[in-house]
Amino acid sequence: MNIPYHDTAKILGFQIKNTVGESALASWTKTRAKIRTQAQEAYCRMLTLDKRIQFVHEYLMVCAWYVSQIYPLPDVCVRQLNTTISWFVRKGDIFLVPLSTLYRSKGQGGWDLTNLPAKSHALLLYRMRQQVMKQGTITSAWMRTWGLNVKGDNPPFRDVIPEYLEYLRRFAMDSAYVDEQGPMESKRAYKRRVYNTLYHISRGETGIQDMRITKIWTTTDWNTAWKNIHCTPVPGGTKAVWYKVIHDILPTNVRLRKIRISPTDKCNNCGMHDMIQHRLIECREGPRTWQWTTQKLALILRTIPTQIPSEWLLRPQCALWTPTRRRAVMWILAKAVFFRTRTNQELTLRDFIAFMQANKYKLYQTVKWRLLVANYLCVLDMP
């Protein structure tokens, strides 16, 4: 009959082949190439760390969430997509925090970056459970045949399902650890619970490791430090700079020399050891800038400037009361770090004062500024 034979069909953008594994690999390969192209097009945009992570969530991975509801994510595509995400988020940074750290919540030292495998499995599990609930469908019938219409035993016994049905094995194993949706639980809350469960399971499989910075400074109250960073009423770009300073991933000459990129560990401006603390409070106008900052903080805290430790710039673990006073103190520290980490070290104390007053004016243009910092920032106008 001269009918051409094709081993691949395309339906609604999905590749259909002889097996689920082949179909998933073909569809995800195409999706991965599309995501990589989009990342290359947006790579040169002047985006800070928080904006790049937001771009990944709201644009870059949208098509991946669509495919995740149909096909399981192959391991090879997980590695390739994680490489693309890491490359885009870093944007050429020499030192960086690993993706495993960014996956953490903001209160644990991360930035709430979505874990790709965990969310893919969560979306697929949610959709398959919705399909099981539909009566009179083929999917519902064969899912009931395998006993997947209800939550399985914990721990699961995957060998009940044949090896060639790997996607059903994965569904059975994930389903054993996730309770069904409660009668008073919204869809959004249920999806979030499924994702959190699968994410913590994946963390348990790979092992939970402490962050590098917490291993170095073991006596620091890091829970308070992360809380102080993210409660500060400053733009996300300022928080991202402070986040990098705290994690010690700025390319100082001390760190660059250790990996043999810089021939010296001395500062290019003053000849002293180029470390983060040196850039913040020691280089050129740094002492005068820090002295002015401690004077303003001392007025807010009702103490003397010498009682304000420079450690707060690198590890803001101070627990202050009231919340408005704490946010005001953190606001000043965050702006000081942001100003001093600029590449132009020729800026003077007068420039710093003008910078602080201009940012204070911008903050006061918001509706709830009194609820955030009260009148504590009026000390910036005092001589």
Residue type (1 letter), 241:
V
Q: How confident is the model at residue 155 (pLDDT cuts 50, 70, 90)?
A: low
CA neighbor of 167 nearest in space, from 269, 70, 63:
70
pLDDT by residue (tens digit) across 282-337? Answer: 888 889 999 999 999 999 999 999 999 999 999 999 888 889 999 999 999 999 99
pLDDT by residue (tens digit) across 244-293? Answer: 999 999 888 888 888 888 888 888 888 888 889 998 998 888 899 999 99
Enumerate the domain spans of the chain: 9-114, 119-206, 222-381
Q: How far apart are CA 165 and CA 104, in angstroms?
A: 32
- Alpha carbon 267 to its chain centroid, in Å, reads 31
pLDDT by residue (tens digit) across 232-242? Answer: 999 999 999 99
